Each structure stands twice: as structure tokens, then as C-alpha cells.
Chain A
Amino acid sequence: MTTSTSLVYLIALPLLGATVLLLAGRRSDKWGHLLATAMSASSFAVGLYQLSLMLDRPTEERAVSQKLFSWINVGTFNVDAGLLLDQLSICFVLLITGVGTLIHIYSISYMSHDPNRRRFFAYLNLFIAAMLLLVLGDSYLNLYVGWEGVGLASYLLIGFWNQKPAYATASKKAFVMNRVGDMGLSFAIMISFAALGTVTFDGVEEASHTASKAALTAIGIMLLVAAAGKSAQFPLQAWLGDAMAGPTPVSALIHAATMVTAGVYLIVRSNFIFDAAPTAQLLVVIVGAITLMFGALVGTAKDDIKKALAASTMSQIGYMILGAGLGPAGYAFAIMHLLTHGFFKAGMFLGAGSVMHGMNDQVDMRRYGALRKFMPITFITFGLGYLAIIGVPPFAGFYSKDLIIETAFNAGGLKGIILGSTTLIGAAITAFYMTRVMVLTFTSKERWEDNQHPHESPVLMWLPMAILAIGSVTSGILFTRGDALANWLNPVFGEHGEGHAQEHLFEPIVVSAMALTAVAIGVAIALAKYQFSKVDAVAPQNVSIFTRVARKDLMQDSFNEAVFMRPGQALTGLLVKADESVVDGAVRGVGRTALGTGAVLRQTQTGFARSYAALILIGAIALIAGIWVVTQ
């Protein structure tokens, strides 16, 4: 494999930015945001340079690696801190640094009134560095370092305004739920080392040809747990909605475009494991299908614009996970949806931030309405993202989602029909709730509070939105023209990456027609319900049980509370009691015994010399008597 010495700059530049900003402290308040943006942009430039180098090389030599240093060297276990840039990583590198730079620019304006803006940018740079390490690591252990790094950055940024206790709790919730997933990843690494003897991607791929199916299935399931935690997939999805407590650019970058897609990256990167472990692969599909419906249903009931978008993110990542679980046929489409989703969802989150900026940080969509007239640029960019996500041709989401729906139908047999119908219904619900967001925010009647004066955001904010909107419009066409992205990614998926032409259940054109029909139905219902009938400014309370359940995130928190939190608390209480009575009891018992014995024996210490003498005498006599008895 070609080696390179410049990969490390991708990570080092933003890491340097974060270090300088965190160490320099308040001294860097004036120029901190500029430095951070420059670091992110230069990392993007290095990424583009790497892409140009990659394009110059023939297909089979495109992947490059760089060994940084020998990290762990114990007996037969050797791990190098090494970087690997191949066709899959470069997609992520450009997405992370590109969208990341745009969001840095946006944040300069969005956070301009925040006294801690410098710290915010330091965390953003830290996130970029950690996320790049995640996608560039050449072994599961290196990936794990980045994986924890993005978790930390996510925690710090969700709780950025931790003076509000609810926000601090949200960041803690995200961190704790992510730990469950991280545990899965660490188990996967341990099993991989125990069963295969290596943790590098190359090594595991080679070993996966001969390894036992049980070990591969175990690794696959643990990787799925990890992916579910990081990507907010069922059953570890509960943290994403609360993560919206963070500043909106964070939601756009971390909780929509990049970090939450790390699970998809992990599964696609581990394609060799899942291809050899059908059970694990089936579980991936099931998790994806459940989550895409789950997120879509939650999205229909949310009045908080960011939480509605978060539910949508969850649902869209469900599509990606489902695509990745469909095996070689779906990997490229999962990545394609990930990239297009990175554009349109980041753009929509920035749009939501722009709306909040103009509406005094109001997030309740029932308090919006008719903002089209006041925020034309936000309306247009958000609208383009909207058209992309619901899948209207020729916008990006149409291509990527359509391909996943088509692949799902072609999965074969009953499985194909179930998965295909799920994705199709999901598309209809997506169209419904996104239209709802669009209508409630931009087109329906004004429902503001009296003191609100909506206005368009400054250029530093709408420019990134505009660029992302261009991406939402064009990326789908670019990726699918001559199967460009699929052909580009194919070498990553090894020899089994192509030639999987199964019998088609439906022709592509039929699938597209069905998907568009589903979308049209969803849009029509939403229009009838919100555009052409009166919407209450306060959420009505006398609603059906279904709406109430959906508003409560399908009872996810109640479920976690009843099944995990309360038994966990009971167990902890029990252990505390056991500790107090048994362990502490033993320790205290020793002390009490010594004290009691001392109190009894102290009685003999009278202070009278004659009684001591008498005791000595008695003792001596007893001793002699004892010796006499024994020796007789």
C-alpha cells in the first residue's frame, strides 16, 4: 500500500487549533474563532489535496497509509498508531472538514454574542480532530480513540450552556447512553483480539475468511451495539432528542451530519465481518428498520423544530443502517445517503438556527408561521433541503433514498417485501412530518408572540446555508451519474463488492413511482392538516393516545426508566446496604471487639503494686502447675 507522510496534518491542524484556544484562554477571545475556522479550512484543503493525489493513482493503489508510531508492543500484540486513507475515508474526511468549515463560519455569527465563543470553537476543533481520527484510524483500536474523542466533544458541546440544569442533564444523558455503545465497541475489539489475534482492519479482514462464524457473529453484534449507541439507533436512541440542548451549529455538525453517522461508517468499514455473519447482518437491518419508523413517528408529533429535525435524523440514519445491513448491494447506497443527508440535514439545522436567531430563540413551531416573507434566504435554503429529504427528483435525497428502497425490495423473499414496505411507509411519514415543519414555520398564518420581530440572518450565516443547499440539490445527481460513488467505493468492499445482480422484485422505475406516490400522499395529508386548517399556537391537550405517546418519544424514557433505571437504582441501593452492613460491619466489628476486650481487661489495671504482685505470683504458680501436670 502506498504510504504518505501528510495524512497526519488532517488531524494535527484542528487539534493544534483546539490546543491553542484551550491553553491561551481568554487572551485568544479576539481571534480564537478565526484561528479555529482557519484550522478547519486548512484541514479541508489538505483533504482536497489528498483527493487530487488519490485521483492521480490507478484504482487499486488509491488507498494510502501512514504509520505514526508504535503504540502498543506486548508479546504478540502489536498495535501501531497508523492512519489509513482510502476511498471510503476520503468521503468522510471531505464531509467532516467541508461541512465542519461551513459550520465554523456560521458559528462566528451565530455565537457572536456568547461570552464563551472561543471555548465553543475550541470544542468544535477538538471534535473535527477526533472525528477525523475516527475515520482515518487503520485499526479498531485507533478508531476507538477517535470514537471516544467525538463522544467527549459531543458531551462538552451539548452541555455548552450548562448553566441550565436541563442542558447539563441532557449532556450527561448523551454521555451515559453513548457509554453503553462504547462498551459494545470495546467488547468487539476484545473478541477480535481473542478470536482473530489482531485488531487492524486489514488483519481482521484477512482473518475473517478463516475465522469461526460464532466469533464473527459476536463481533458483528457488538459492533452493532456500538453503532446503535453512537448513531442513536434503537434501542439506544433516547439521547438524541435531548442532545438538541446544544447550540444549533453543534446539532447541525455533530448530531446531524457527522458524528451520529459514525455508526454507519463502522458497519460499512466492517463489511467483511457482516458479510461473513448473516445473523449479525440481519440484526443490522432490523435495527435500521425499527429506527427509521421510530424516528419518523416521533417526528410527526414534535413541536420543537430542533427535536423534529433530530427525530428525522434518527429516522434517516435508520435508512443508512438498513442500507448497510443489506450487504454488498447496500453499502455504497448507505454511504451515498449519508453524504447527501450530511448536506441537506446540516443545511436544515442551520436554517432552524437562523429561524431561532430571528425569533428570539423561540423553538416552538406553533409560535412560528409566515416566516417566508421575513426570511426569504432561509426559506429558500431550508426549502431546498426539505425537497431533498422528502425525495423529490432531482434533489439529492431522491436518488439516495430511492436506491435504498429499491435495494430493500430486492433483498429477496418476504424479507425484501417487509423491508421495502417499511422504507416506503417511512418515506411517506418523512414527507408528512417534514412538510409539517415547513408549513408550520414558513407558510401558515403568523402565530408569534407580540415582541417578536423576525429578520433575515447576516451573510456569515446564510452563506453556509446556501452552499449546503447547493449540495442538497446537486450531490444526488453527481453521485449517481454513471454510478460514480458506487464505482469509487467498490474497491473498499473487496472482491464481493460487485456482481450481486439478483432478480429484481420491481423495476427501478416502479419503485421510484411508488416512492413518489408515498411522498405525495404524505405531503397532501400534511398540507390539509396544517396549511389549509387552523393551527393552534399552543399544542392541544385533548388529543388521541397515539399523539400523546408520540409526543413522549414513544415512551422511550419511561421504558428506560422502568426497565433499567429503577432496577439499577434498587440494585445500587441493595449493594450500598450490603456494603454498609457486611463490609463496613466486619471492619467496625473488629474495632468494637478490640474496644470491648480492652474495657474488660482494663479492670485488672488497678494501679496497686500488691495486686500486680499477687497476679504475678498466681501466674507463676499456674505456670508451674501447668508444666508439672503436662510433664507428669
Chain B
Amino acid sequence: MNPYNYLYLSALLFTIGAIGVVVRRNAIVVFMCIELMLNAANLTLVTFSRINGTLDGQVVAFFTMVVAACEVVVGLAIIVAIYRSRRSASVDDASLLKR
């Protein structure tokens, strides 16, 4: 199968993620869209790794997954904390630093 199709798929996933981050208000959904973008990038790295026949891309993908896991832990904790104090998970409501 043509490996370039994976690249098209990853571009599609990344675009969906990016649009989701920009247009959705719910913090959980935004968060999931970010994960989608990260994984799109991971897919690209693995694809290039296959195309070039080296393992570099796969190694970097592992790093990305580790970082993403950490980020999920911290990010979800923040979202839960905000939800508890403000009874809302909307990212637009959390604009307090502006003032």
C-alpha cells in the first residue's frame, strides 16, 4: 500500500484537531482535539520512519506519547479543578488573567 496515504490521513486528522481546538468551547473536547493533533503528528513520524527505513521517527513517536501522557495527567487535573471551582468546563469562561 502506498505509504503516502498515511500522510494524507494524518494531515486530515491534524486539520480536524486544529479546527476542533479553535471552534469548540468545551475544554474536554478541546483537549481531545489536541490529542488528535499529537497523534496525527505521531502517525506522520512513523510513516516517514517506514518510508526512510530508519527507526528515528518511531523513537520520536515514543517520546511524543510519553509527553502526551504527562500532559493528559496535568491537563485533566487542571480541567477538573476549574470545573469544581467555576461549575463550567468552557474555555471561554476561563479568561480571568485578562483582568
Contacts and interface: CB of A to CB of B under 8 A. Distances in A.
Interface of A: 605-610, 613-614, 617
Given A617-B18, A617-B22, A610 B92 contact: yes
Contact of B98 (A607, A610, A613, A614): A607
Contact of B95 (A607, A614, A617): A607
A610 B27 CA distance: 10
Which 7 A-B residue pairs are closest in the complex by CB-CB distance? A607-B98, A607-B95, A609-B91, A614-B22, A613-B21, A608-B95, A613-B22
Given A605-B98, A606-B95, A609-B30, 11 more contacts: A607-B96, A607-B98, A608-B91, A608-B92, A609-B92, A609-B94, A610-B22, A610-B23, A610-B25, A617-B18, A617-B21
Contacts of A606: 95, 98
Contacts of B25: 610
B19 to A, nearest CB: 9
10 contacts: A605-B98, A606-B98, A607-B96, A607-B97, A608-B92, A609-B95, A610-B23, A610-B25, A610-B91, A617-B18
A170 B97 CA distance: 66
A606 B95 CA distance: 8
Contacts of A614: 22
Contacts of A613: 21-22
A125 B98 CA distance: 73
Interface residues of B, number: 14
Interface string B64-99: 000000000000000000000000000110111111
Nearest to A606: B98
Q: Is the interface of A mostly helix, strand, loop or mixed?
A: helix
Contacts, number: 29
Contacts of B95: 606-609
A609 B98 CA distance: 11
Contacts of B96: 607
A609 B24 CA distance: 11
B17 to A, nearest CB: 11
Q: Is the interface of B mostly helix, strand, loop or mixed?
A: helix
Contacts of B99: 607
Contacts of A605: 98
A486 to B, nearest CB: 96
A617 B23 CA distance: 12
Contacts of B91: 608-610
Which of B18, B30, B94, B96 is packed against the most chain A CB atoms within 10 Å? B18
A607 B30 CA distance: 16
A358 to B, nearest CB: 85
A605 B99 CA distance: 10
Contacts of A608: 91-92, 95
A599 to B, nearest CB: 15
Nearest to A605: B98
A606 B96 CA distance: 10
Interface in B19-44: 21-23, 25, 30
A602 B25 CA distance: 23
B52 to A, nearest CB: 20
B95 to A, nearest CB: 3
A605 to B, nearest CB: 7
Nearest to B23: A610
A610 B97 contact: no
Nearest to A613: B21
A85 B96 CA distance: 87
A317 B65 CA distance: 102
Contacts of A607: 95-99
B22 to A, nearest CB: 5
Nearest to A621: B18
Contacts of B22: 610, 613-614, 617
Contacts of A610: 21-23, 25, 30, 91-92
B76 to A, nearest CB: 16
A225 to B, nearest CB: 70
Contacts of B92: 608-610
Contacts of A617: 18, 21-22
Nearest to B33: A613
A602 to B, nearest CB: 10
A613 B19 CA distance: 10
B64 to A, nearest CB: 17
B26 to A, nearest CB: 11
A608 B99 CA distance: 12
A613 B23 CA distance: 10
A418 B38 CA distance: 108
A609 B99 CA distance: 14
B73 to A, nearest CB: 19
A620 to B, nearest CB: 9
Nearest to A607: B98
B80 to A, nearest CB: 17
B99 to A, nearest CB: 8
A606 B99 CA distance: 10
A619 to B, nearest CB: 12
Nearest to B94: A609
A609 B22 CA distance: 9
Contacts of B98: 605-607
Nearest to A615: B22
